[in-house]
A and B are shown apart, each in its own frame.
Chain A
């Protein structure tokens, strides 16, 4: 079937009134779920899934997918306005988003993220439409050696990510790695550091860690502040949102780079938007000529990760729809939804279910347009959130955080986890230890270990596997270049200093 024919089928499906309605419901729910701290796409889709038993499978899928990518739009809102990530993946947007809001540029930041999200999604959808099978086949070339090399590159790129003391940052990466150790050892099935608590057998949940360190900690830090509102907000004019010429220039390339990174990460099954935005931010800061602006309200610091997480969410449909292999945990639930409706996803899905495949893709366009139209007028409303006094706002936020972590597994244990991390996060804040490196270690550490050990298992312990396989070798070499660019200047300076002193 050619592309044009497919688009026609897709338009017929996606533009029928009931499908449009379900798409709209999905993206609207997604936006709100994204904005509300704690309740992420995974929790929302899990809750909505049983409701879809009674509607047409294509409509059901379009609605659930809408929640998924809609949440990526909303996720950054609370990060920017309140320094509370709306979803775990938006934690990185706090770094530069909140300083922007403090500078009174909240409308601009929200507008920019809406545009970034739209551009990131749209470009990734083009990839899904035109090249899904090709990309999916390429992704199959990635074994554990390649995954290890890619994640290592991410870790190396991110090594210079935070401000302040590099030792404190390093300590926090190690803390994050240690947290990532908790859970079941994949290779042996042994429980590690679970202390007999069965709820810890799957490790700490990312949502609980991120919401605790970023969200609850922020709330604790504000206890005892004089009662009042966060910021004074005047009437929002369009001019407050619209970036000026130099601002457009600042976000143009980061958005495209973020989209590229996000699409790549998203197409690799088993990763996800969290890794995509983390890597995008790291790369952006790494290549910036003025890295010191990051963390103080650099527009690039929100553009790139926001484009990346949206692109990754759309690209996650590439392996899902063309091979039946879910790109991340949320898409895995969507696959479950298909099976519930009697459609077994596999390599023939595009041919067996053209109406569903093309309907879904076209609905991505429709949904993203709806999101753009929905989100820009909402900016005014969101910014008004800042006028709610925090003795009213924060208890509400806490309730949503508790609801969000509880609904993941219907388990009270996770509420205590989020509380515990809130206290740890608060202590870290008071002592000047940054929280982002914890997240970095916690997300990338377990993946790095899993793929390293599997690569070793498959190569019978031959470490050269990382350099013998071409794709892996390329990423390893880039990592080495990155590392060299960090250490060599210092080394050279020290050498020349040494020479100078011996010459004396």
Chain B
């Protein structure tokens, strides 16, 4: 008995020792430059956000923050790279809805799991989408679209930047909630879809708020509803989907910082501290406002729950729409 207790004690000591390692490391964190992997080429909104955050946290953390662009396969190449990196807080991911939630719902052949292979540091921002039609089309409300689509199933078209993008998912959710069947017309990137919407080749799209608001201002596109839960300041007077009759509807795209699973909690907390200070700064607040982003700044635990709920939500949509690959 005594031996057993002794054994326990030793075991506990050994355990404590193994945990002391990373903890001791975490204390001095960061001791070398941190890399934020952006899973897209430079120039996009994810790239911009990563660079601005990197710039803002580098001072307080006392180490340079390097942004590395590893594009490919809708963000999954870069996400996979970070998932397989050492969980030491020196390689982080600027993850998005596609790479860190929808892909899990859509693909069985994904080499990483968005829920199990990452410890989220913070979901930084979210951004609703907007359902737009050509301003020369007859549709002036969500009601019009639903009525038309019900009368003519599989006729009303919507363009997206590709299968499994948040724009695609928002439209599938629309179909499920409204009981309609729209025709999905996927493009390579949102600009091509926008081009065909302006040219009247397709009927609608769920678009990025900032970009589409320019065309709304110019009188080329007509916004019917935003996918968020409240009115968006870039599109004042445009109802939400809930206000337009689809009471359960909400869809966002979001972006956040992720670390590989197994990163010491102290490291996550330290990173989160720096990020939440950065998010509160005037500089980033101005950027968010300009870009049409809604500030989230979720702490690690909340981010983890949020990701789980997103994966669950989109899995339901993917299954109901029969999109699984």
Contact = CB atoms under 8 A, between A and B. Distances in A.
Interface of A: 46, 49-50, 53, 140-144, 184, 186-191, 196, 198-199, 201-202, 269-270, 319, 323-326, 332-337, 339-340, 342, 344-348, 409-411, 450, 454, 457-458
Interface string B170-210: 00000000000001011111011011101111100000001
A199 B192 contact: no
A49 B325 contact: no
25 contacts: A187-B186, A189-B106, A189-B323, A189-B325, A198-B76, A198-B77, A199-B77, A201-B72, A201-B73, A201-B76, A202-B72, A202-B73, A269-B191, A269-B195, A270-B188, A324-B214, A325-B191, A337-B43, A339-B45, A339-B48, A346-B215, A346-B218, A409-B77, A411-B77, A458-B157
B73 A184 contact: yes
Interface string B282-317: 000000001000000000000000000000000000
B41 A50 contact: no
B42 interface: yes
Interface string B72-112: 11101100100000000000000000000000001001010
Given A198-B77, A198-B80, A336 B43 contact: yes
B153 to A, nearest CB: 12
Given A142-B199, A198-B76, A409-B71, A458 B214 contact: no
- Which 5 A-B residue pairings sit nearest by Cβ, starting from the closest? A336-B43, A189-B163, A346-B214, A201-B73, A140-B199
Contact of B70 (A270, A342, A411, A454): A411
Contacts of A340: 43, 48
B77 A346 contact: no
B220 interface: yes
B117 interface: no
Interface in B145-179: 157, 162-164
Interface of B: 41-45, 47-48, 51, 67-74, 76-77, 80, 106, 109, 111, 157, 162-164, 183, 185-189, 191-192, 194-196, 198-202, 210-211, 213-215, 217-218, 220, 290, 323, 325
Contact of A143 (B201, B218, B323, B325): B201
A201 B325 CA distance: 14
Contacts of B76: 198, 201
A186 B199 contact: no
Contact of B68 (A332, A410, A450): A410
Contacts of A347: 214-215, 218, 220
Contacts of A49: 42-43
A143 B202 CA distance: 9
B194 to A, nearest CB: 6
A269 B202 CA distance: 16
B72 A411 contact: yes
B305 to A, nearest CB: 27
Given A50-B51, A270-B195, 14 more contacts: A46-B69, A50-B67, A184-B73, A189-B106, A198-B111, A201-B73, A332-B43, A333-B41, A335-B191, A347-B214, A409-B72, A411-B70, A454-B187, A458-B202
B65 to A, nearest CB: 12
A198 B76 CA distance: 8
Contact of A410 (B70, B109, B323): B70
Contacts of B215: 324, 346-347
Given A140-B198, A198-B76, A411-B70, A191 B163 contact: no
B71 A457 contact: no
Contacts of A46: 41-43, 69
B234 to A, nearest CB: 10
A267 to B, nearest CB: 12
A409 B70 contact: yes
B34 to A, nearest CB: 16
Contacts of A335: 43, 191
B47 A336 contact: yes
A342 B196 contact: no
A188 B220 contact: no
A333 B45 contact: no
A49 B69 CA distance: 12
A335 B192 CA distance: 14
A198 B183 CA distance: 28
B191 A198 contact: no
A344 B214 contact: yes
B141 to A, nearest CB: 24
A466 to B, nearest CB: 14
A343 to B, nearest CB: 10
B325 A188 contact: yes
A336 B201 contact: no
A470 B76 CA distance: 41
B183 A457 contact: yes
Nearest to B218: A347
Contacts of A270: 188, 192, 195
B37 to A, nearest CB: 9
A191 B110 CA distance: 11
A339 B41 CA distance: 14
B185 to A, nearest CB: 6
Given A46-B41, A190-B325, A336-B44, A454 B189 contact: no
A52 to B, nearest CB: 10
Contacts of A337: 43
A204 B200 CA distance: 32
Given A50-B67, A186-B187, A189-B325, A333 B42 contact: yes
Contacts of A336: 42-44, 47
A324 B217 CA distance: 13
B119 to A, nearest CB: 21
A416 to B, nearest CB: 15
A199 B192 CA distance: 23
A18 to B, nearest CB: 23
A418 B199 CA distance: 38
